Structure 1
């Protein structure tokens, strides 16, 4: 039914376009209206803006090894290739499987959030709206990347405007002055570990641009998009968290769940909250589209090398599009199956689907960042294709591993807060166990490939080879 290509279209993604995907994946309005108020209310940490800066610094150290590996070993499935180059092909396959689970987990979790929001806004069953959007996501995922980029850029621009308007409203009408506790270590009281876990989950997706390395116009574009996306997210979220504290007041921000919609209503009138709600819905959808694109590229790239079934590597009939059609269908199939199961079992879309799947995804991605930094230290020290400074080889990845391990422990210990479950539940054991189980499954699959399919084993993590031999979309119509 489809023809299959060895690679995606080259030179179709600029650094700004990759940055749009990375920032859109984080869904700014979701963090403003959901994550930040929930973190204040559940942890009691006044210095949440400072926590964003501190955790952002740790993630920044982790991103150094990640971006350097994506530059020296460009591959759509970054974790799969980067870990495979430094720690061995078995570890690479395991990392690829965990990455697929993590990205699919976060993307699929958003169907629960979106479905609940659509149900609250328009009525009806949550899963009806979720299934409709799943079809739209599948259609965009199977088309060229240019169309998706345009949609993401428009929604992201409006989302940034909404966040900016909220900050202006908070500054103009502070509840109790401009309290400095938000950036003071004296405000690091209460559940700091839980706050760090929330912050880490909010930042995931910043690394998305590196998965477009095969389609990038310049080799350094993906790495730059990752760095800029992380810096923008950390600064914007830190300022936004401070603005929420200013709007509500330090005495009330941790006492109950603060509602940023009140500031919109007071400052801009009753028409503003419905507008912000619509922006929130579109931001969730574009976040899903961005994460769908990443998961599709992981599936495509791993299938191209024989790690996943051959049909997943399909790029469709139209060679001018060069989209990961097979990977897109795989991701959409997973999402639809999950929605149907949760609907049939009548499970809560927020407490079950969104909370559990997003937590598994965030924990998996943090673990992969740590492992990738370890891989970078080994691979770059041994001498990669291009020289790397000591900062990129040793110091930044080393600091990232140490800081990341601390955040990982805090995240596991505070899983109850992320899930909203009662203290003493089995969640802190189940969530890490899921990630470990898929990693072990990846190792077993790698062992099978090594013993039974040596030709596949040799291809693992190698990528498309000569990127300049891949036809670009803009050349597809030239008649020779």
Structure 2
């Protein structure tokens, strides 16, 4: 893959149109007109994280993502726990997009086209089948599909942004939403929590290390560009959304109907046709997110299969397409089983999305915190000589650890908002997430005792 194909592959996971229409309104609900500044703040935190992250990529020549980073910094026991968290997080985030895709396609078919009502598992299965088919072939095919999808969904948001910028909105274009006073006027902590979750996926650049040209340069560049592009794009779109309805009215309008905020703005400033097209692009955006998640998961499964931690068949690479096709098929099978369980429990698709997405996002936030701490320990413990200063190996990772620690604390304190459920449900899901990490760590301890050769392979690195 080229730099731009890698970028499209990881950026698709964040589903830009879905974020602009689904997450930005919630950031506005909690922080009002200060939402654009909140995204800039989240971008700054993750850029600081990226400093240590990209510096460490020079010394970990094999892929493996956060699994490899945590192993190298905190040891094999923590590393395997991190691997289980990663798999849990990406599995849930990828799976929850399937019912979200189904809901939007159903709205398009019935609402805009006057078609029949079809159960959500049918649409979800078609989305999963399309993703599985593309993942079977070479990664550059997925990358090309994701590039086109990213271009289309980005284009529609840019059209809205330009239309608002040209029109000026009811109160004119003001720089106030980008200021500190606007950001601190609402529940800024909860708003930052939601904003940070919108960036998830940028860290996957390191997972595709073996499948990009000139990995030493491409992976760091793609990581920085992903954070910058996501941050600036969402901050500008949030600014234009605020401007579209006016600083004095935006909080009330968003709170009354957050899901309708962006479609309403699109219809007001671009037209009804663009609003209808938004439903199509929401569906393609969600398909792209599923495809991106499956590609990431397949490579985690492949890494663990190569190490022998999972069945080694998962580490097999297709002789012609050079894809981790067995691990990819395993992901599809797991999603099918999870979907069948939720169908048997008659869980509504919108409720399913809220619960599963919140837990998956929390798992990845924990993983990022562990990785940030692992970067510090890697550069402090290793006997190697590094051509990097304290800024990249200590100060930046330490700041990132403090910032991400605060975000994780906010996630735990406000977990009911993340999942849209009761406190008892929140407590059970938080405990389950931590248990997944400890189960992975316990498995590493068993391997250390029973299968020391496999234990030494954990992390895909020669430590």
TM-score (norm 2): 0.92
CA distance in 2, matches of 1:46, 1:273: 23
Contact kept, 8 Å, 2:134 with 2:141, in 1: the verdict is yes
Give the equivalent residue in structure 1 for 2:244: 247
Relative to structure 1, the CA distance from residue 175 to residue 335 in structure 2 (aligned partners, 3 Å threshold; closer, same or farther) is farther
2:335 corresponds to 1:335 = yes
Structure 2 alignment gaps of length 5 or more: 110-116
| Inter-CA distance 383–217: structure 2 relative to 1 (3 Å threshold) | farther
Cα RMSD after superposing both structures: 1.7
Q: In 1, distance between residues paired with 2:421 and 2:426?
A: 10
Indicate conservation of the 8 Å contact 1:49/1:242, yes or no: yes
1:49-105 per-position Cα deviation (integer Å, ceiling 9, x unaligned) = 111111221122222222222331133321111111111111111111111111111
Which digits, 9 at most, give the CA deviation of each residue in 1:298-326, with x for residues without a partner? 0011111111112211223xx13110112
Match of 2:39 in 1: 52
Alpha-carbon deviations, 1:107-152, whole Å to 9, x = none? 1111121111122222321111001111111111111111101100
Per-residue CA shift, 1:227-256, capped at 9, x if unaligned? 110010001000111111011112222112
Partner of 1:18: 6
Moved more, 73-82 or 127-136: 73-82
Would you say the 8 A contact 1:197–1:418 is kept in 2?
no
Q: 1:440 to 1:57 in 2, by over 3 A?
A: same
Is 2:154 the partner of 1:156? no
Partner of residue 65, structure 1: 52
- C-alpha distance in structure 2 between counterparts of 1:252 and 1:125, whole Å: 38
Q: Distance in 1 between matches of 2:445 and 2:180?
A: 49
Distance 2:10 2:384 in 1: 27
- Give 1:455 deviation, angstroms: 1.4
8 Å contact kept, 1:208–1:294: yes
When the two structures are superposed, what TM-score results if normalisation uses the length of structure 1? 0.89
State the distance in 2 between where 1:130 and 1:182 align.
38
Match of 1:224 among 198, 207, 221: 221
What residue number does 1:291 align with? 293
Q: Distance in 1 between matches of 2:371 and 2:51?
A: 10
Q: Is the 8 A contact 1:201 1:359 kept in 2?
A: no
Q: Say which SS state the counterpart of residue 346 (structure 1) adopts.
A: coil
**Residue 40 of structure 1, CA deviation:** 1.9
The question of 1:175 aligning with 2:170 is answered: yes
Report deviation, 1:428.
4.0
Does structure 2 conserve the Cα–Cα contact (< 8 Å) formed by 1:193 and 1:411? no
Q: 1:354 to 1:119 in 2, by over 3 A?
A: same
Partner of 1:124: 118
**Secondary structure of the residue that 2:298 maps to in structure 1?**
helix
In 2, are the aligned partners of 1:79 and 1:95 still within 8 Å (CA)? yes
The equivalent position to 1:273 in structure 2, one of 250, 254, 275, is: 275
TM-superposed CA distance for 1:29, in Å, is 0.3
2:419·2:426 contact (CA, 8 Å) conserved in 1?
Answer: no
Question: Partners in 2 of 1:22 and 1:436 — Cα distance?
Answer: 26
1:186 Cα deviation after fit: 2.2
Structure 1 position 341, deviation (Å): 1.5
Residues 1:453 and 2:451 aligned together: yes
Count residues with an aligned counterpart.
446
Paired residue for 2:232? 235
Q: Residue 209 of structure 2 corresponds to which residue in structure 1?
A: 213
Q: Does 1:365 align with 2:364?
A: yes
- How many angstroms apart in 1 are the aligned matches of 2:211 and 2:201? 18
Once the 2 structures are TM-superposed, how far is the Cα of residue 427 of structure 1 from its aligned partner? 4.2
Structure 1 residue runs of 5 or longer lacking an equivalent are 1-12, 466-480
Identify the residue that residue 412 of structure 1 maps to in structure 2. 412
CA contact (8 A) 1:264 1:272 kept: yes
- In proportion to residue count, which structure has more helix? 2
Of 7, 17, 42, which aligns to 1:29? 17
Alpha-carbon distance change, 96 to 297 in structure 1, aligned in 2, over 3 angstroms: same
Name the CA distance, whole Å, in 1 between partners of 2:74 and 2:306: 21
Q: Would the aligned equivalents of 1:71 and 1:223 in 2 still touch at CA under 8 Å? A: no
Q: Which residue of 2 aligns with 1:470?
A: none
CA distance in 2, matches of 1:180, 1:417: 29
Q: From the superposition, tell whether residues 74 and 434 of structure 1 become closer, same or farther in structure 2 (CA, over 3 Å).
A: farther
